[in-house]
Amino acid sequence: MATSSGRAKECGSRTGAARAGPAARARTSGSVAERFRVTATSRFGGGAKANGQWRAGGGRGKLRAPMPRRIIPVASGKGGVGKTTFAVNFALELAKRAPTVLVDLDTATSSVRNTLKVPIQKDLYHFHRKGARLSECLTRLDPSVDRSGRFRDFAFVAGPIHYLEDVAAMGPELRRRLAAELHSLPADYVVLDLRAGVDATVLEFLPYTNSGALVFTPQLPQAASAAADLVKAMVFRTLRTIFAEQSEVFALPGIADARELVNELLVRAEDAYDDSVPSIDFLLRDLADVFGDHPLLIALGEVLAAFRVHYVLNQFDGVEQSHDRAVVPFVRTLADTVSARLDLTQLGWVVQDDRIHRANCAGRPFVLDDEAPRARPAAADPHLAQLESLRAAALGIDRRPATRITAARGAAGGKSSDVDALLGEQLDRLRTMFSGVRGAAGPRENLAYCVSRALALLQPPRLPTEFGMTQLASPEQLVRWLLKRLAVVPAAS
């Protein structure tokens, strides 16, 4: 999958495309948000608004929640890996199943605007400086782009047309307003295209319990280690939130006087230049040495083991090559600096294909291209083929059983046998997935497969904490969720 970095220079300026002429303004006049809301509900057979919710038609008799079913961030540790291209096409593919909104939070580059060449009336500039609601900044696809109408349930919020420091910097107040308004978007799924790298504008829009969709590529060796660094930042953000100065966890018996020790261990574990606590596995071992089998340590071990990392291999060039160039350095860096206990899930891959680059230059995402050749279907029983497709979509989705952290484990965390076993597991799954879905298929089939696996992660019995998030949770919500796991506070607190 081609990358969006530097695309404006390579393919020509997109500035003119972003300014709609009179005809385009006439087509998009009125409340875009309201028209999208009506379109979104039409998939359910129409509906009536009742008590702030949309009642689904079509005989379902359910209330559609006024907030998205799931917010799915797309992130990368390094630029140039195809994150935005994946985010745009992933959101479009999702929109074929349910109403979906893509929000461009890579605000320094306006990459989504470069990838989708359609007239845009309002964007994050109007949200930030003109007081528009985020739902008023939705842009739908022009009929000339979505000729088939298959993507009528897709909309996006673009970044500003040019660089604006206050939007690109995204200070605390703008982040707070964005977080609040994301929950009111009229969609089942909200996909966030985050900026590359690690900073507050990235971490604040990521879940506490999983990575969202993490994109890296075997074509850039440093991309795998950068992706692992991003996961490290996510996990440490969760731990620092749990052990914040005023955290309620310090009210637990036996840990009230441990603030200084816990914070010292966190600092040392996070410091890449201090090898006394090289990873979180060792940090938990040291805490277990002090506190023994304290319920908090047991719960933290479970939280660490339950943290799910979901990744996509972009510019995929074969199972063995992609595994050796991307998966191996990614897993080894995670084991050395974070933990060998993290739960890793491959969402899929997108093969290298020149059509992707041409589609980006044309401002027409490749998923929209009706003329793209499709993979020839195998001559097999269609029912068996469907069952095989479902099996491949669910492969490796279930979590691994958590292992308990105790002082007796000593330095076992992250030992080479654990890492080798994890790498073997990832390679076996990749081989099976590749074989099961006819790995030679093109990028559109690759995206459809990624979406099918993402949707499998959203279905029971999997928990809402396993992929994406139902809302951008506050630090207090995370701490209280952990305490409730320990059953040490009343449920109503």
Task: Name which residue leads in pLDDT, 287 or 415.
Answer: 287
Q: Is pLDDT at 39 greater than 70 in this prediction?
A: no
> How many Å apart are CA 375 and CA 363, to the nearest integer?
24
pLDDT at 29: 37
Domain boundaries, the chain: 7-27+69-206, 231-352+376-439+459-486
Binned at pLDDT 50, 70 and 90, residue 5 comes out as: low
pLDDT at 320: 95
> How many Å apart are CA 205 and CA 208, to the nearest integer?
10
pLDDT in tens, 192-238: 999 999 998 899 999 999 999 999 999 998 999 999 999 999 999 99
The mean pLDDT value for 69-79 works out to 96
DSSP string, 255-310: TTT-HHHHHHHHHHHH-TT--SS-SHHHHHHHHHHHH-S-HHHHHHHHHHHH-EEE
The answer to whether the CB of 215 falls within 8 A of the CB of 312 is yes
Share of the chain above pLDDT 70, in %: 76
Q: Which residues are within 8 A (CB) of 311 and not within 5 positions of it... i.e. 6 or more apart?
A: 211, 213, 214, 215, 216, 227, 330, 344, 345, 346, 347
Least confident residue range of 40-54, 114-128, 452-466: 40-54
Least confident residue range of 205-219, 412-426, 447-461: 412-426
Question: Amino acid identity of 437?
Answer: V
Strands (E), 79-238: 100-105, 139-140, 154-157, 189-194, 210-216
pLDDT at 166: 82
Least confident residue range of 108-122, 332-346, 392-406, 430-444: 392-406
Binned at pLDDT 50, 70 and 90, residue 53 comes out as: very low
Taking alpha carbons only, the member of 5, 15, 8 closest to residue 361 is: 8
For tokens 């992933």, the residue is: 90
The mean pLDDT value for 28-55 works out to 37
> How many Å apart are CA 190 and CA 470, to the nearest integer?
10
- Averaged pLDDT of the chain: 80
The mean pLDDT value for 357-374 works out to 79
The answer to whether the CB of 96 falls within 8 A of the CB of 150 is yes
Q: Is pLDDT at 9 greater than 70 in this prediction?
A: no
Least confident residue range of 231-235, 296-300, 468-472: 296-300
pLDDT in tens, 80-110: 999 999 999 999 999 999 999 999 999 888 7
Q: Which residues are within 8 A (CB) of 83 and not within 5 positions of it... i.e. 6 or more apart?
A: 3, 4, 74, 75, 76, 106, 193, 194, 196, 215
> How many Å apart are CA 267 and CA 365, to the nearest integer?
43
pLDDT at 99: 97
pLDDT in tens, 11-20: 544 334 333 4
Instruction: Tell whether the torsion through CA atoms of 446, 451, 454 and 455 is positive or negative.
Output: negative
> How many Å apart are CA 67 and CA 70, to the nearest integer?
9
> Dmax over Cα atoms in the chain, in whole Å?
72
Judged by DSSP in three states, 410 sits in helix
Q: How far is residue 470 from each of residues 7, 179, 376, measured CA to CA in Å?
A: 33, 12, 38
pLDDT at 438: 61
pLDDT at 390: 56
Angle of helix 475-486 relative to helix 295-306, nearest 10 degrees, comes to 120
Q: How far is residue 244 from each of residues 137, 239, 248, measured CA to CA in Å?
A: 36, 8, 9
For residue 69 the two structure tokens come to 């079913």
**Partners of 22 in the beta sheet?**
none
- Please give the CATH topology (third level) of the domain spanning 7-27+69-206: Rossmann fold (3.40.50)
Least confident residue range of 136-145, 313-322, 356-365, 408-417: 408-417
- Sequence-ordered alpha helix ranges (H) in 307-404: 319-322, 328-337, 354-362, 382-394
Q: Which residues are within 8 A (CB) of 460 and not within 5 positions of it... i.e. 6 or more apart?
A: none
Binned at pLDDT 50, 70 and 90, residue 439 comes out as: low
Q: Is pLDDT at 345 greater than 50 in this prediction?
A: yes
The answer to whether the CB of 321 falls within 8 A of the CB of 89 is no
Taking alpha carbons only, the member of 226, 444, 415, 439 closest to residue 339 is: 415
The mean pLDDT value for 26-38 works out to 42
Q: Which residues are within 8 A (CB) of 429 and not within 5 positions of it... i.e. 6 or more apart?
A: 346, 395, 396
Q: Is pLDDT at 59 greater than 60 in this prediction?
A: no
pTM: 0.82
pLDDT in tens, 234-292: 999 999 999 998 899 888 887 778 888 888 989 999 999 999 999 988 888 888 888 88
Q: Verify cis geometry, omega within 30 degrees of 0, for the bond prior to 461.
A: yes
Binned at pLDDT 50, 70 and 90, residue 2 comes out as: low
> How many Å apart are CA 125 and CA 473, to the nearest integer?
25
